[in-house]
Structure 1
Amino acid sequence: MTAVRAAALLASPVDAGRDEAAREAARELSGAGYQHEPLFDRLQREISQFLGDLLSGGGTGEGGVMSLVLLVVLLAVLAVLLLWALRRFSGSRRTESGAVFGQRERTAAEHRAEAERLAAEGGWAGAIQERLRAIARELEERAVVSPMPGRTADELAEVAGQALPPHAAGLRAAARLFDDVTYGGAGGTREGYLTLTALDERLRSARTGAAA
């Protein structure tokens, strides 16, 4: 009954005074009946009340202009937060689907050592993945390509192939092999791993020769 009484107070005659009625309504709404109101319900009620006051005529005068400005600012902040959340979601989906590197950042030497360890154990699919990651990180460390989070194997082959045209075909073949074992369900082979190992050595030699 407290809410009904508060509404009645707000609708009371002018002789009680609008300010006095508002204060009395606030005391009623802050009573025991609203102390245990869930936070979400309270926010929803207050927002609905604010919008209702604004649309019912409270938007006239200086106070109404300020309310309208605050509403516009609130909507702008919500839009920015929504765009930020969408970009983060899009970036995480890109990292999870198609990217060369995983969440953990390693050097080219670390990727290469992991590839050799997996190859020694016969884990050819993992060895192929790590060897291509070693190639990608090596090219980034040597400034052949610029680092780009979420870069796919195909994008790496395209950019690195433009920087090192004699190895463009080998890079494209390496990208296809990486995608096959990573997303296509294909099993890795010793021959495929040795192909990437040879490409890795050629790229390292080519970069050293160009620098010299």
Structure 2
Amino acid sequence: MLMEFRASIEQYGKIVHFSKGQRIYQAGEEVKNVYYIMEGLVKLADDAKDGQTVTIALLYPGNLFGFLERFNGEIEYSRYSVALTNTKLVAIPIEVLLQQSGNSIIEQSLVLTLIKQLSEAHELIFVHSKMTVEERLRWLLKKLAKDVNGVLTVDIPLTHEEISFMLGCSRQKITMYLNKWKKEGRIQYERGNIQLLHIDQPV
């Protein structure tokens, strides 16, 4: 169904590119487009009252985002989105998507996207409220890792500051734990490439 949906989506929108760190849309901006991720990693986030960035969801290729507010009857985005890596998206005008609401492939994909985003949001709430910073970092690295020649590897070029924004902690703590794990042989870490060797082994 994914291939059918991707082919269907591409005919209604246009390809757009965002550089790493670039905002895709701002909170308070009018909802004009829905976005489908073809390549890259996107963060949905909000700013708490204390000024701390709160990550709502991490989105990957195959995810659709930017439509929830409009489906709730709102005309402006309530959160902002940022490209965490160089990102390739399909931008679909929201009105075009609404006109295709009878398309079974699109409807099924929207429902699956809603379920996935709600699950991600609940997981992030649990992570931020129940886990220590060290546990949060371990969880995030495992979530971002892919199997490369039998080794779980994070090859997304995220800075320590970007990781700290996602996990709601200081950049110094991220640096401290990564250096500690590298010294202990739990990870290999060079230029944004992190190999998870023994990240779950007891201290």
**Structure 1 length-normalised TM:** 0.22
Higher strand share: 2
Structure with greater helix share of residues: 1
Normalised by the length of structure 2, the TM-score is 0.22
